[in-house]
Structure 1
Amino acid sequence: MAGVMERVCDYPRPPALEPSSQHILIRAGGELLAETRRSYRVLETFHPPTYYLPPESFVEGRLRLAAGRSFCEWKGVACYYDLHGPQAVVRKAAWSYPQPTTPFASIAGWVALYPALVDGCWVDGELVVPQPGGFYGGWITSAVQGPFKGDPNHPELI
């Protein structure tokens, strides 16, 4: 990805699923939460990428299944996870698709999270900026160009 600028307005709809070998690091509660070089990016029009990580990349015991479900027209039914840290619990900080639709079968059981709810997420050493709007879980880096859905400066995308 280095050196390549991606315009999110050029991302497809329905979204695309792309494997990634970028170095992903997530810290929460002052500690390492997850680290991997094996993830998937979901690329959807006007959204920065959302990263899905294999469950084994998370520190054991930190993610616990939470109540509630939601539905995505592209991926299916999502379940949520609370993040249990050394000092606090962050409710519904992450989500997964246990049985996603066929085009997204590769991310079955993999976990995405809201970057705004943790200390930080890094992609190849770059600190991620959370996608605006509390509903979205996109990861903004210098490699992606907006405008992004949820940005209050672009009400047509909210």
Structure 2
Amino acid sequence: MLDPRTFPRPPALQQIKKNILIKFKDGQTIASTDRAYWVLETYHPPTYYLPPDSIKLNLTPTSRRTFCEWKGVATYFSFTTPGGEQVDNRAWTYKEPTPTFAEIKDYVSFYADPRWECYVDGELVEPQPGDFYGGWMTSDIVRKSVKGAPGTRGW
């Protein structure tokens, strides 16, 4: 089991040997790679970052930016689903990450979202609780140690 209480702070960046697949419900691939990184941070399930050449959609930067004291400023994207729906701010990147996170420069992370499916080594993930954090919950995550649900953002 992976217990997010034991994950480091500041967070750790690690390249992983896992197959990551994101696809729309109709089967169209959004991204597929075995060259991802994950970020492990206390009380968060892993957040996965995929190389830009693994992304099969056109991503358009939006005006949204957020700041992480560890990684830097995140730039968010919009994209269009096969059904023509525009999706805003459900994928992001770090164009100028801090030196510790330089390896994920321009890598893209996606929220797990009901409009598409995210898989880690063939396992369908669940989104981290709440709508702020972008971690992916696999069956090996100790759920009681994950923040994001109401009342847990200040842990």
Query: Normalising to structure 2: TM-score of the pair?
Result: 0.92
User: Who is 1:24 aligned against?
Assistant: 20
Structure 2: how far apart are the matches of 1:52 and 1:74?
15
* C-alpha deviation, 1:60, in angstroms: 4.1
User: Who is 1:109 aligned against?
Assistant: 106
9, 30, 34: which is aligned to 1:37? 34
Residues 78-97 of structure 1: pairs in structure 2 closer than 5 A = 78-87=74-83, 88-97=85-94
* C-alpha deviation, 1:157, in angstroms: 4.6
Structure 1: how far apart are the matches of 2:7 and 2:126?
19
Task: Give percent identity, aligned residues only.
Answer: 48
Helix, strand or coil: the match of 1:144? coil
Aligned residues: 151
Seen in structure 2, the aligned counterparts of structure 1 residues 29 and 156 have a Cα distance that, compared at 3 Å, is closer
Seen in structure 2, the aligned counterparts of structure 1 residues 135 and 12 have a Cα distance that, compared at 3 Å, is same
Residue identity matched to 2:146: F
Structure 1, unpaired ranges of 5+: none
Superposition RMSD in Å? 1.4
Structure 1: how far apart are the matches of 2:24 and 2:60?
15
Structure 2, unpaired ranges of 5+: none
* C-alpha deviation, 1:83, in angstroms: 2.0
Q: Does 1:142 align with 2:139?
A: yes
Residue identity matched to 2:148: G
1:22-65 residue CA offsets vs partner (Å, 9 max, x unmatched) = 0101012622100000100000000000000001111142x211
Seen in structure 2, the aligned counterparts of structure 1 residues 11 and 28 have a Cα distance that, compared at 3 Å, is same
1:56-88 residue CA offsets vs partner (Å, 9 max, x unmatched) = 111142x21112211111100110011222221
Residue identity matched to 1:149: K
Q: Does 1:14 align with 2:10?
A: yes
1:121-153 residue CA offsets vs partner (Å, 9 max, x unmatched) = 00000000100010010000012213211124x
User: Who is 1:76 aligned against?
Assistant: 72
Helix, strand or coil: the match of 1:6? coil
Seen in structure 2, the aligned counterparts of structure 1 residues 72 and 117 have a Cα distance that, compared at 3 Å, is farther
Residue identity matched to 1:138: G
